[in-house]
A and B are shown apart, each in its own frame.
Chain A
């Protein structure tokens, strides 16, 4: 009787391993976001979009009043970034959001009216 339970347990454990492996290592071709996706995402997130020219205008008028946040990985940031931007690496995952919640509030500072631009 006991042997039957352990065989069942073994089957479950093996299946769980296969599932975990499949989830972590399957090859996913990242979808290239279309302009509509970006707009929809912005609406859902409640932020506005800005293009390079507008940003350049803003940057030219008042670079100090603007906080530029580079959300790419640190090696990308090191290779080159907009002058004055701070690096805050974010992976587009729920885990990363949850993990960095406290950190981001500290980085953005107490001034809620400050213009923030993420890229």
Chain B
């Protein structure tokens, strides 16, 4: 490549660094602090950096999709008739009212998010309990069956009436927004409940507020646009059979969430296959078996696209499970194993993990199946796994006390002399590249 750029004296040394180092020629390496610095950065997740934007965008779109459920739809004419009476006041004032309306709606929902996040410490701990996981999954399936049309979920009618009364002035508009959230709740409940549980799992009130505020903005945006341009209402497609299809779509999303929740309880191949089965069934029903029609032409392509999307997702899940390469070779913990590793001058990594812990599974599925990690670990490191799925093993209890392990996952790194490198200790998911850096630091001492 350098040749094509016009450089005359281009060489390649095929033996490279290892031969150079063996010959005892001058080498250098980055200082330890520099090598470690990037490893200290926060582990990337759905809520950091750019991924955060995408997550919020998805939530925003989800909020907009909520407008298609049958219970929000009747609220659209209510909204428009409320705002339609004000069209004499001029555009600017109408926009002001629309914004207040949106704000009221967003606040009602955001309070739910903050409450969920504040109880998050409790809910986070509970979420790792198999009984709770099953209960949440059962609740999600129950709501899904409501969306499939097996039973009806509704608020007491008195509350609905009181909330839809007209009020005047800016405060009235704001109050309309606040109450709309309450009125729509029976229908939004199924979708928002899953999100609530997720927000509780995050355990941050600020994130909880942000997530639900974004959701409400998505939910309210079409209403806001309608409020401002309220003259064009007759162009909306009429509520009909296609609404039932949208409900089914939401129902399948909930069933998928239920399958996601019970994942940690299922043994490894089954968990992914369960998700794949849900995606497959959803794709077949929504895209091909469902016979609902609509007067507008966009419906059929949308239906086919959703069906095909779900089928592709199912294929992806099954395929990535079936075609996954070999993983790291783990050995069970024993004192002799550590003694042998120390005698051979090999570093050791001890992984305290459990089947029900999500970051442990992520580590296992991504990092410990990464080809570079598998190769390096197989050659240079003794990998030891302590499986804490079932508690009460006295040997394990002693180990936990000896290394001061507070939870799972915990990865303990022992240098070739058998001493722990506490600065490298890991208690969360770490991507393969960062893990390789740690192994490298471990080897350097």
Contact with B along A91-119 (1 / 0, CB 8 A): 00000010001001100100011111111
B320 touches A59 (CB 8 A): no
Contact with B along A9-25 (1 / 0, CB 8 A): 11001100110011001
CA distance A116 to B203 in the complex (A): 54
List residues of chain B with CB within 8 A of the CB of A50: 11-13
A52 touches B19 (CB 8 A): yes
Q: Taking CB as reference atom, which chain B residue is nearest A116? A: B10
Q: How far is the CB of B375 from chain A (nearest CB, A)?
A: 10
Chain A interface extent, by class: 35 or more
List residues of chain A with CB within 8 A of the CB of B21: 80
List residues of chain A with CB within 8 A of the CB of B315: 14, 17-18, 21
B29 touches A113 (CB 8 A): no
B308 touches A25 (CB 8 A): no
A13 touches B17 (CB 8 A): no
List residues of chain B with CB within 8 A of the CB of A26: 323
Which residues 283-336 of B sit at the A interface, judged by CB distance below 8 A? 283, 287-288, 300, 303-304, 307-308, 311-312, 315-316, 319-320, 323-326
Q: A14-B315, A104-B5 are in contact. List 4 more A-B contacts (CB 8 A).
A: A21-B316, A38-B14, A81-B28, A114-B7
Contact among B25, B34, B324, B437 with A25 in the assembled complex (CB-CB below 8 Å): B324
Q: How far is the CB of A3 from chain B (nearest CB, A)?
A: 7
CA distance A18 to B318 in the complex (A): 9
B316 touches A83 (CB 8 A): no
Contact with B along A73-93 (1 / 0, CB 8 A): 001111111111000000000
Contact among B11, B17, B316 with A49 in the assembled complex (CB-CB below 8 Å): B11
Q: Taking CB as reference atom, which chain B residue is nearest A48? A: B11
The interface of chain B, by Cβ under 8 A from chain A, is 1-17, 19-21, 23, 25-30, 34-35, 283, 287-288, 300, 303-304, 307-308, 311-312, 315-316, 319-320, 323-326, 371, 433, 436-437, 440, 443-444
CA distance A117 to B11 in the complex (A): 5
Does A2 sit within 8 A of B, measured CB to CB? yes
> Which 8 pairs of residues, A with B, have the shortest CB-CB distance?
A6-B304, A119-B16, A21-B319, A83-B26, A47-B10, A78-B30, A50-B11, A119-B13
Q: Taking CB as reference atom, which chain B residue is nearest A70? A: B17
CA distance A66 to B119 in the complex (A): 63
CA distance A26 to B325 in the complex (A): 7
Contact among A27, A49, A53, A115 with B12 in the assembled complex (CB-CB below 8 Å): A49
Q: How far is the CB of A87 from chain B (nearest CB, A)?
A: 9
Given contacts A51-B15, A75-B440, contact A17 B312 (CB under 8 A): yes
Contact among B23, B30, B326 with A52 in the assembled complex (CB-CB below 8 Å): B23
CA distance A79 to B439 in the complex (A): 10
Contact among A18, A33, A48, A72 with B10 in the assembled complex (CB-CB below 8 Å): A48
Subset of 26 A-B contacts with CB under 8 Å: A5-B304, A6-B303, A7-B288, A9-B304, A10-B288, A10-B304, A18-B315, A18-B319, A21-B315, A21-B320, A21-B323, A22-B323, A33-B14, A38-B14, A42-B12, A50-B13, A52-B23, A55-B11, A72-B17, A75-B433, A75-B436, A79-B29, A108-B2, A116-B10, A117-B11, A118-B2
List residues of chain A with CB within 8 A of the CB of B12: 42, 47-50, 117-119
CA distance A27 to B370 in the complex (A): 11
List residues of chain B with CB within 8 A of the CB of A119: 12-17, 20
CA distance A83 to B8 in the complex (A): 24
Contact among B4, B27, B303, B437 with A83 in the assembled complex (CB-CB below 8 Å): B27
List residues of chain A with CB within 8 A of the CB of B6: 112
List residues of chain A with CB within 8 A of the CB of B25: 52, 56, 59, 82
List residues of chain A with CB within 8 A of the CB of B8: 112-113
A116 touches B7 (CB 8 A): yes
| Residue from B25, B283, B307, B320 having most chain A Cβ neighbours under 10 A | B25
List residues of chain B with CB within 8 A of the CB of A82: 17, 20, 25-28
List residues of chain B with CB within 8 A of the CB of A79: 29, 35, 440, 443-444
A114 touches B9 (CB 8 A): yes
| Residue from B11, B34, B304 having most chain A Cβ neighbours under 10 A | B11
List residues of chain A with CB within 8 A of the CB of B303: 6
CA distance A14 to B313 in the complex (A): 9
B23 touches A56 (CB 8 A): yes
Q: Taking CB as reference atom, which chain B residue is nearest A101? A: B1
CA distance A81 to B35 in the complex (A): 14
A78 touches B288 (CB 8 A): no
B308 touches A6 (CB 8 A): yes
Given contacts A79-B444, A80-B21, contact A105 B5 (CB under 8 A): yes
A115 touches B437 (CB 8 A): no
